[in-house]
Amino acid sequence: MSLSDWLLEKKNLQVPCSNYNDNKIKIPEGLWVKCEKCGLLMYYKALNRNFKVCPQCNHHFPTSSQERIEQVLDPNSWLSLNNNLTSTDPLGFKDQKLYGKRLQDMKVKTGLQDAVQTGLGLIGSKPVAIGIMDFRFMGGSMGSVVGEKLTRLIEIATTKLLPVIIICASGGARMQEGLLSLMQMAKISSALQKHHQAGLLYIPVLTSPTTGGVTASFAMLGDIIIAEPQALIAFAGRRVIEQTIKEDLPNNFQKSEYLFEHGFIDLIVPRTNLKQKLAQILSLHDNTLNM
């Protein structure tokens, strides 16, 4: 074989550059997360290990109810209650799609039956009744099932003499259920009053966002009200208030720090310290009862 023939053969065996580029290793999406506040780029497992809190600026990322169960409760202590309750469509409501279809889509997307999980568990070996709202399910909106599950949880806690903790994340009452959703405010508040009369502890934990009818009812009825840093806590929207009072509002208006300064909440606790703080409060309350 001549030198020219050998070079031609080698050239024909070379892999074209286009094929080489097509075979490059592709990095799956979602492995790296960028903090929307400070721009820090984090490996998603490192972020999850830090309870979805940015280690550089303390920005609290949204998190699911299942993740909060793992973050707050002692391992293997969660006992779910009333997990089979689901909403119906009593009004035959339709906006961009039928309410019944929207509910079904949310169930498939989140794996939940509605916007709250309720159950019993342990925090620092102390038994509690706990409800955890999930903003992924229709913005954590409070419909008849959310109200019923929280009411049943509080009634069980009253019977069993347990403290109640509700982790709030909600856009407010669910408009697709009309008056039925508004009735839940009074129903839950009434159950909490009976719980309070029994001398039992109730702690709401306000996360971002906690707004509308949830803020106007059970979110602000706690014996000790805790909020996460920089959480949006409000009833009406900022723009609506400014247009109503014809004044500009402070930049941090409706943030947890502003509410703390004005006495609406009692503690601001980072998510990374929440379990420890709840365990401390529960222990102090238990010791007071035993005195």
111, amino acid identity: G
Q: At what angle do helices 179-197 and 144-160 cross, to 10 degrees?
A: 10
Q: How far apart are CA 92 and CA 212, in angstroms?
A: 23
Between vectors from CA 188 to CA 75 and to CA 127, what angle results, nearest 5°?
25
Nearest Cα residue to 224 out of 150, 165, 157: 165
Q: How far apart are CA 260 and CA 206, in angstroms?
A: 12
Nearest Cα residue to 231 out of 202, 204, 211: 211
54 is in an annotated binding site: yes
35 is in an annotated binding site: yes
55, amino acid identity: P
Nearest Cα residue to 139 out of 37, 213, 71: 213
Token digits for 184?
């839940």
Nearest Cα residue to 147 out of 115, 102, 100, 120: 115
Contact criterion met (CB below 8 Å) for 211 and 217: no
Q: Which residues pair with 119 in a beta bridge?
A: 80, 130
What are the angstrom distances between the C-alpha of 205 and each of 6, 131, 240, 267? 76, 10, 25, 9
- Where b means 16+ CB within 10 Å and e means fewer, 242-267 reads eeeeeeeeeeeebbbebbbeeeebee
168 is in an annotated binding site: no
- Residues within the annotated binding site? 35, 38, 54, 57
- Residues within the annotated binding site for Zn(2+)? 35, 38, 54, 57
